[in-house]
């Protein structure tokens, strides 16, 4: 599969919201085998809404 050129040069700006999201993925999430998808599972709707907003 060919990589999208738009995403190749994308640089994320580090923020407290991004750090929070990375922490959630590390503790409550998982990455797919292909490295293109992630999963965060929770029964806490507020937590999932916060992730969606980041």
User: pLDDT tens digits for 4-51?
Assistant: 555 566 677 889 988 888 888 888 778 888 888 888 888 889 988 888
Q: What is the pLDDT of residue 1?
A: 46
Q: Are 12 and 39 in contact (CB under 8 A)?
A: no
Q: Are 29 and 40 in contact (CB under 8 A)?
A: yes
Q: What is the pLDDT of residue 4?
A: 53
List of residues 6+ apart from 12 with CB closer than 8 A: 18
Q: What is the pLDDT of residue 51?
A: 83
Q: What is the pLDDT of residue 48?
A: 86
Q: What is the pLDDT of residue 52?
A: 85
Q: What is the pLDDT of residue 22?
A: 85
**Tokens matching residue 36:** 């293109």
Residue spans of the domains in the chain: they are 14-53
């Amino acid at each position: 599969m060919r990589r999208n050129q738009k995403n190749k040069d994308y640089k994320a700006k580090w923020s407290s919201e991004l750090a929070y999201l990375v922490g959630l993925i590390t503790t409550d999430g998982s990455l797919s085998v292909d490295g293109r998808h992630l999963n965060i599972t929770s029964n806490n709707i507020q937590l999932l809404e916060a992730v969606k907003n980041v």
